Amino acid sequence: MSEECRKVLRVLKGETISPPPIWLMRQAGRYLPEYRETRSKAGSFLDLCYSPDHAVEVTLQPIRRYGFDAAILFSDILVIPDGLKRNVRFSEGTGPEMDPIDVRGIRALDGKDVVSHLAPVLETVRRLRAELPVETTLLGFCGAPWTVATYMIAGRGTPDQAPARLFAYRERQAFEHLLMLLAEISADYLVAQIDAGADAVQIFDSWAGVLGEAEFEAFAVKPVARMIASIKERRPQAKVIAFAKGAGYLLKTYRQRTGADAIGLDWSVPLSFAAELQREGPVQGNLDPMRVVAGGEALDAGIDAILQTLGNGPLIFNLGHGITPQADPENVATLVRRVRAQGG
């Protein structure tokens, strides 16, 4: 069997498949008891990300349980600032933290050893490709420069990323330098993941939705376009999914302006608009993760609406953002069954 049996990869090349392939963002995570067991053995969250034994295991767990059509590398978007020596740490209950960066710190950044620092992650990719079923697409990923930069500026997550937005207005030159450095490092990292065995890669811009129109162009579109151009120049066959959460109407030209092969859609994107976007190429999404928590009629209705509106075009069924720890694993099983039955 060749890679042509990998359904997600076929959709990324523009094919319509019925029923559509399915995977879920954060499909390896705290809602699964087997993940919690492995996590307890690994030490810190970064230890889990940097241990190929543990990272391979948690990546494979949802594949064994549900038979998803894709596995996504278990890691975190903040391994890049960790490689930049920003003292990244994950505290239980408070989320990720790191040393906030200023203009002087941005000027001092040196990205030349970051991909070497991430060698354990690339080893995880190599081992996953060897251990996954041949029909399962392997996805690599990284954070988009804007989203990674928001954490680097504030030193933590914030509700509306006001620290990064304010810094960008006051220190535009330094901020754009940071974005372009992150774009360069991130492109190198994704190429390394592809070379290690990833079939395709996803760029997560989880905080794109806080940007105004001009800032979206400068901080979300431009760096991602630079990344994708760099990746495709070196690996012309590479397939890239770009996910700009919360971007709304600005998604209308996002695919064309970034060069992405597919665009991920969050649950706030109207299905009528999603259908417009699908006419120009593959889309991925966009079930509200809360429907998976609710289960029952809410889950069934959400699945059916997406399949009825988008099922006749190139679609990768997914959530509109990551699955939450409150999700019942049985509801996930129901979701997979219903998608594969074309909505029942």
Give domain 3-340's CATH architecture: Alpha-Beta Barrel (3.20)
Domain ranges of the chain: 3-340
Q: Which residue is catalytic, options 6, 10, 26, 127? A: 26
> Catalytic residue at 76?
yes
pLDDT band at 343 (very low <50, low <70, confident <90, very high): very low
Using alpha carbons, list the distances in angstroms from residue 126 to 136, 174, 178, 198, 295: 14, 36, 30, 8, 36
Q: Distance between CA atoms of 46 and 26, rounded to whole angstroms?
A: 16
Q: Distance between CA atoms of 97 and 83, rounded to whole angstroms?
A: 14
> Catalytic residue at 26?
yes
Q: Which residue is catalytic, options 151, 205, 255, 261? A: 151
> Catalytic residue at 104?
no
Q: Distance between CA atoms of 340 and 344, rounded to whole angstroms?
A: 9
115-166 pLDDT per residue, tens = 999 999 999 999 999 999 999 999 999 999 999 999 999 999 999 999 999 9
Q: Which residue is catalytic, options 6, 10, 35, 39? A: 39
The predicted model gives 199-215 an average pLDDT of 98
Sheet with 70-72, edge to edge strand ranges: 70-72, 137-143, 200-205, 240-244, 262-264, 283-287, 315-319
- DSSP 3-state of 278: helix
> Catalytic residue at 170?
no
pLDDT band at 2 (very low <50, low <70, confident <90, very high): low
> Catalytic residue at 89?
no
Using alpha carbons, list the distances in angstroms from residue 181 to 124, 157, 210, 259, 310: 25, 21, 22, 19, 37
Q: What is the DSSP string of 120-161?
A: HHHHHHHHHHHHS-TTSEEEEEEE-HHHHHHHHHHSB--SS-
